[in-house]
Amino acid sequence: PERVFSGVQPTGNLHLGNYLGAITKFVALQDRYDCIYCVVDMHAITVWQEPEELKKTIREVTAAFIACGVDPKKNIVFNQSQVPQHAELAWIFNCVARLGWLNRMTQFKEKAGKDRENASVGLYAYPNLMAADILAYRATHVPVGDDQKQHLELTRDIAQKFNNDYATSIAAHGYGDTFFPLTEPLIAGPATRVMSLRDGSKKMSKSDPSDYSRINLSDDADAIAQKVRKAKTDPEPLPSEEEGLKGRPEAENLVGIFAALADRTRADVLGDYGGRNFSEFKAALVDLAVAQLGPIGAEMKRLTQDPSAIDAILADGSERAEAIAVETLKAVKDIVGFVRH
Ligand code: AQP
């Protein structure tokens, strides 16, 4: 059966990149697939998180999912740490993945920076936990932003190596040729990699020290308007064709954001705005962003006023997630050769 899994880290303000790259896809997929959406709190602590702040952010991300339109009854919405099978399977994957594979991960290199000796072991092993998140549910599809492509490839490598290494045992236990699916990333549309509003060469990110680099889901209309107006651009008017966006990263980014928010193609947007100047385009972009994000921010605010209602959603989702993951883990333990009662 086809199943979707994806996660978002509770590490700070959710922004337009998380929204367009991931959360809007979660909503679009919920009618067609059996979907599991996770607040990956165990990933968050690979870098230091203030405990009280972390709790708050876990609830905020949950509220954001719901405010954006994810239905927690139809789908499973939960936080990772409440389902112990993620950590259990991650250990087994630590023993499947090779050091050489992890050494190639660019996100670790970026996040660890120059002081690599001081990075947590968890930050290094992060992709193995991510593989466990996905494969604990034997998910077939994962909607993510472009930055997660390499980690998804690693997930496939782990699944494939597990399937190969244990092929005899997998067959002997009646699971046929392969136990884990080779999960497909779902990365599509005009905004799979939203860039910083201040620098078209850097991705929009929660950890950028400048708040002007991103539009937060919680920003009000004034903040959105100010940030878009101040967004970096070049002095030329907009091109009429997509070709003309080459070498103009800031223009390309804003056109991509516009297209994604309006659910149109970039070519279509340029058909309307080609030849016009940025001030005109930005004004339309502000209207579009405020119309779409305004109600989401307001709904997030309303939902986070009742933390116990959010905790109840997470508890319910965790129980339903665990019921699936526990079966995967039983099978994996049998395949690996562990003794269990
Ligand atoms: N700029 C982006 N454009 C498109 N998609 C993005 N995503 C993140 N940034 C962009 C996608 O959002 C989902 C959740 O991301 P995450 O919070 O799990 O991890 P992240 O990539 O580390 O997020 P940030 O905002 O970039 O945080 P920091 O600053 O900590 O590095 C994923 O599907 C991701 O692809």
- Residues 83, 137 contacting (CB under 8 angstroms): no
Q: What is the pLDDT of residue 217?
A: 96
- Among 8, 147, 153, 208, which is best to mutate for testing ligand 1, by the most ligand atoms less than 8 A from CB? 147
Among 175, 103, 90, smallest CA distance to 135 is for 90
Question: Are residues 12 and 108 both part of a single domain?
Answer: yes
202 is in an annotated binding site: no
Ligand 1, CB within 6 Å, residue ranges? 8-9, 11, 17-18, 21-22, 144-145, 147-148, 192-194, 203-207
* Phi, psi torsion values for 293, nearest 5 degrees: -85, -25
240 is in an annotated binding site: no
Residue 251's H or E segment, with its range, is: helix 249-262
Query: Residue 186 forms beta bridges with which residues?
Result: 143
- Residues 66, 72 contacting (CB under 8 angstroms): yes
Domain assignment present for residue 194? The answer is: no
Q: Which atom of ligand 1 is nearest to the CA of 145?
A: 35
The position carrying tokens 């309303």 is 302
Q: What is the pLDDT of residue 234?
A: 94
10 is in an annotated binding site: yes
Domain assignment present for residue 204? The answer is: no
Tell me how far apart the alpha carbons of residues 248 and 238 are, in angstroms, rounded to a whole number.
10
Active site residues: 111, 203, 206
Tell me how far apart the alpha carbons of residues 243 and 249 are, in angstroms, rounded to a whole number.
12
Domain assignment present for residue 192? The answer is: no
Question: Are residues 162 and 244 both part of a single domain?
Answer: no
At a CB cut-off of 8 Å and minimum separation 6, what does 275 contact? 237, 238, 240
Q: What is the pLDDT of residue 147?
A: 96
- Residues spanned by the domain of 247: 211-302
3-state DSSP call for residue 122? helix
Could you list the pLDDT tens digit for every one of the 341 residues in the chain? 899 999 999 998 899 999 999 999 999 999 999 999 999 999 999 999 999 999 999 999 999 999 999 999 999 999 999 999 999 999 999 999 999 999 999 999 999 999 999 999 999 999 999 999 999 999 999 999 999 999 999 999 999 999 999 999 999 999 999 999 999 999 999 999 999 999 999 999 998 999 999 999 999 999 999 999 999 999 999 999 999 999 999 999 999 999 999 999 999 999 999 999 999 999 999 999 999 999 999 999 999 999 999 999 999 999 999 999 999 999 999 999 999 98
| 275 alpha carbon – ligand 1 mean position (Å) | 32
Question: Are residues 33 and 135 both part of a single domain?
Answer: yes
Q: What is the DSSP string of 257-306?
A: HHHHHHT--HHHHHHHHTT--HHHHHHHHHHHHHHHHHHHHHHHHHHHT-
The set of long-range contacts for 241-245, using a CB threshold of 8 Å and a minimum separation of 24, is 241/267, 241/270, 241/274, 242/266, 242/267, 242/270, 244/270, 244/274, 245/270
CA 50 to chain CA centroid, Å, is 21
| 194 alpha carbon – ligand 1 mean position (Å) | 9
| CATH number of the structural domain spanning residue 237 | 1.10.240.10
Q: Which atom of ligand 1 is nearest to the CA of 208?
A: 29
Question: Are residues 268 and 327 both part of a single domain?
Answer: no
Q: What is the pLDDT of residue 167?
A: 98
DSSP for residue 238: P
- Distance set, CA 52 to CA 41, 59, 63, 163 (Å): 13, 11, 17, 41
Question: Are residues 37 and 162 both part of a single domain?
Answer: yes
Question: Are residues 81 and 168 both part of a single domain?
Answer: yes
Domain assignment present for residue 114? The answer is: yes
161 is in an annotated binding site: no
Q: List b or e across 309-330, with b for residues whose CB sees 16 or more CB atoms inside 10 angstroms.
A: ebeebbeebbebbbebbeebbe
Q: What is the pLDDT of residue 259?
A: 97
Q: Whose CA is nearest to atom 34 of ligand 1?
A: 145
Residues in the chain: 341
Question: Are residues 50 and 137 both part of a single domain?
Answer: yes
Q: What is the DSSP string of 135-153?
A: HTTT-SEEE--GGGHHHHH
* Phi, psi torsion values for 186, nearest 5 degrees: -110, 100
Structural domain count, the chain: 2
The position carrying tokens 């929204």 is 19
- Residues 88, 73 contacting (CB under 8 angstroms): no
Domain assignment present for residue 197? The answer is: no
**Predicted-assembly ipTM surpassing the 0.85 threshold:** yes
Report the chain's C-alpha Rg in angstroms. Answer: 21
Q: Whose CA is nearest to atom 35 of ligand 1?
A: 145
Q: What is the pLDDT of residue 207?
A: 86
Question: Are residues 296 and 324 both part of a single domain?
Answer: no
- Among 9, 16, 18, which is best to mutate for testing ligand 1, by the most ligand atoms less than 8 A from CB? 18
287 is in an annotated binding site: no
Domain assignment present for residue 200? The answer is: no
Question: Are residues 17 and 133 both part of a single domain?
Answer: yes
Tell me how far apart the alpha carbons of residues 107 and 207 are, in angstroms, rounded to a whole number.
13
| 207 alpha carbon – ligand 1 mean position (Å) | 10
- Residues 207, 12 contacting (CB under 8 angstroms): yes
Question: Are residues 151 and 27 both part of a single domain?
Answer: yes
Domain assignment present for residue 245? The answer is: yes
| 282 alpha carbon – ligand 1 mean position (Å) | 24
Q: Which atom of ligand 1 is nearest to the CA of 6?
A: 33
- Among 5, 29, 148, which is best to mutate for testing ligand 1, by the most ligand atoms less than 8 A from CB? 148
Max Cα distance, the chain (Å): 71
| 183 alpha carbon – ligand 1 mean position (Å) | 19
Question: Are residues 105 and 159 both part of a single domain?
Answer: yes
Query: Residue 79 forms beta bridges with which residues?
Result: 39
Domain assignment present for residue 128? The answer is: yes
The number of helix segments (H) and strand segments (E) in the chain equals: 15, 5
